Structure 1
């Protein structure tokens, strides 16, 4: 009997990749990762998992590889964990006549300027915005919108290259960074200049056309947008919940989404919910773990079931509060030591402790998700209890960083 396989286009270095592999195996599938560099994913080597080296930026090469795999396996589904390859996976699904999202909708959505245009046309509340390809256009758009503004690459994720510019000096400095060759662009440089929407940050977790729940996120200090703590479900009123759900569903309609997972970042401003970004994919770690701990809904397993054409089950099994604290360094330098994770993991109510770094690792903060050095997840029946457990565990983890020598030393 031919074994059923799940094809994953690239993996993840932050824990989600292994969760996808494990979920696929529980469903009786053979997970096969196609990657330009399989060795970058530790879990593939550690678990002796199937991985094939292939140019994942070359659709024809991926089609050839999948066609060859069909001689040995029954390919039940194809997907990707990374947003930059999600449209590629959708094209493969289309080619092999497998369940998947509309690749055109995914590509349009991943272009933040095109996304803004479609949302604006549909009347979805979004920040004022403009697009620029040079410094003069950045200044012109910022003057029209009014400082402070947020500058971000039109394509990208993880808050890479995203910065709040509160005055003309910060605007000029970040424009020079983005357009002066320091930022790595996947395509021709285009900068989104955006009104700074102020208020609590939320994220709607959606599968198909159903909002599974709403995440609350605390961000670090400006000018960057780095998550520090994530809580599920968010403590919002019934009115706030309903308005966030209504706006989120209107995003799906405006962008031609509604198949599979979507997560939508919003701010609750003085005018109500304002959409910051629509991500046409499943959230990365630790969001899926939080949803499972709080509601008993395994988003990763349900996503794979959708990919292979099985029936979903998003029914809530229980109602707890889960939260994750992101571990962030306070300086650049060389990590001398990091420890305490075993004691933290032993605290009652702690579900997971995940450290990304080891001693002797150079720490260079860039003000994006790449600054994370780990996270701690806790869950309990109440928000206050979860927060207390989380703090107790985080206090047990410590590290030291020796600053890099100054130039000339």
Structure 2
């Protein structure tokens, strides 16, 4: 009997957990990547990887067809948003379970997503789509400063910026249209350069909440801390300190988003802000949230989102029952300047604290730090868990205070 395999298209920080979960389920993980060498854990963990043009669907179909001569492909998926629709297309081609790729692609176009939600009456910020600097300026005046500018495609807060005045608006519009911010795969970057579209959005002010769903079931709601002007998440706390009524309102709006966008299969992450007019939808992400959200959900509720997602992918029923309820808090570590990372230490002391669940560093010494104002700027994270909300936050702060780093600025070019 052929060995059952799970095919993963490209990778994110979640992918190693997908590999480990697949192995626990008795599956052989195989990664398809345009450059497997960019993922340092591939060789270290002995993961089978195949080099293929992942922007070319026909090439992927040919590679999967070849794999089927050796393996029983149980499922195909991706932890990367930019390849999730591709994984859906491959799944459909081979008669496997997966999301609706058309729904994923519509959702990944932030303008189309905004249109569909607005037409269905889902509360959201005022918005326009601009293709040049003149339109950006006019639409910002219509909506009223401050406004948020973001590319119609992108993820991880890439290319997102709060513009408080006309000078910031003009400067950042020039940056976006000039291609200073690269946040897409090469093929989509070429599309952007040929026909740029910038969303100009009302700045919806209020606390932010992020909801995780699997299919049509709400798993958990976190309160999130997003910095400005780039709106990069600096931390989460599960569960969010909300009343039952407030949770119900956020859940109802989120589930209505999934219905409108055709996202009733698999994981989804919905970002909302609670404004003066109640919760408004900032963005719907048609995939599992990035690390460490799955780890936090498992610590908070006992639900392993990655394993349950893989079960869906291979055609099995998932189990989303909560096993317990804890408060879980995470803080993301960001470099304070550009330059060369000389040292980063204190992780072992932080990890040894009672209540600290995980301490991770993404940057090694001598790494060149070039901040871009997106989620890729994180150099690590710390997670703490406790039955008490106040205690979880206190443990987290104590752990973060133990971690230190030193960065030597780049030489002055002048």
- TM tier relative to shorter chain: over 0.9
Pick aligned residue for 1:80 from 78, 81, 87: 78
- Per-residue CA deviation, residues 34-76 of structure 1 (Å, 9 max, x unaligned), is 0001111122111011110000000000000000000011000
Q: Report whether the alignment pairs 1:219 with 2:223.
A: no
**Structure 2 matches for 1:99-114, cutoff 5 A?**
99-114=97-112
Report whether the alignment pairs 1:245 with 2:251.
yes
The CA distance in 1 between the partners of 2:353 and 2:39, in whole Å, is 29
2:310 to 304, 324, 327: 304
Q: What is the CA–CA distance in structure 2 between the aligned matches of 1:173 and 1:278, rounded to whole Å?
A: 28
1:200 is aligned to 207
Aligned partners of 2:320 and 2:128: how far apart in 1? 38
Q: Which residue of 2 aligns with 1:396?
A: 402
TM-score (norm. length: structure 2): 0.96
Question: How many angstroms does 1:229 deviate by?
Answer: 1.2
What SS does the corresponding residue of 1:335 show, helix, strand or coil?
strand
Aligned position for 1:283: 289
- The secondary structure found in structure 1 opposite 2:381 is strand
Instruction: Map residues 307-386 of structure 1 onto 2, 5 A cutoff.
Output: 307-386=313-392
**Equivalent in the alignment of 1:31:** 29
| Cα deviation, residue 11, structure 1 | 1.2
Question: What is residue 241 of structure 2 aligned with on the other side?
Answer: 235
Distance 2:263 2:413 in 1: 51
Any residues of structure 2 matched to 1:36-115 within 5 Å, and which? 36-115=34-113
1:333-358 deviations in whole A, cap 9, x for unaligned?
21111111111111111111110111
Determine the C-alpha separation between the residues in 1 that align with 2:291 and 2:314: 22
Q: Distance in 2 between matches of 1:238 and 1:392?
A: 31
Give the Å deviation of 1:227.
1.2
**Aligned pair 1:182/2:180, yes or no?**
yes
Aligned residues: 405
Normalised by the length of structure 1, the TM-score is: 0.98
Q: 1:183 offset after TM fit, Å?
A: 2.3
1:373 match: secondary structure:
strand
3-state SS of the aligned residue for 2:268?
strand
Unaligned residue ranges in structure 2 (runs of 5+): none
> Take 2:61 and 2:356, find their aligned partners in 1: how far apart are those partners?
43
Runs of 5+ in structure 1 lacking a partner?
none
Q: In the alignment, what sits opposite 1:266?
A: 272
Q: Secondary structure at the match of 2:230?
A: coil
Distance 1:159 1:226 in 2: 6
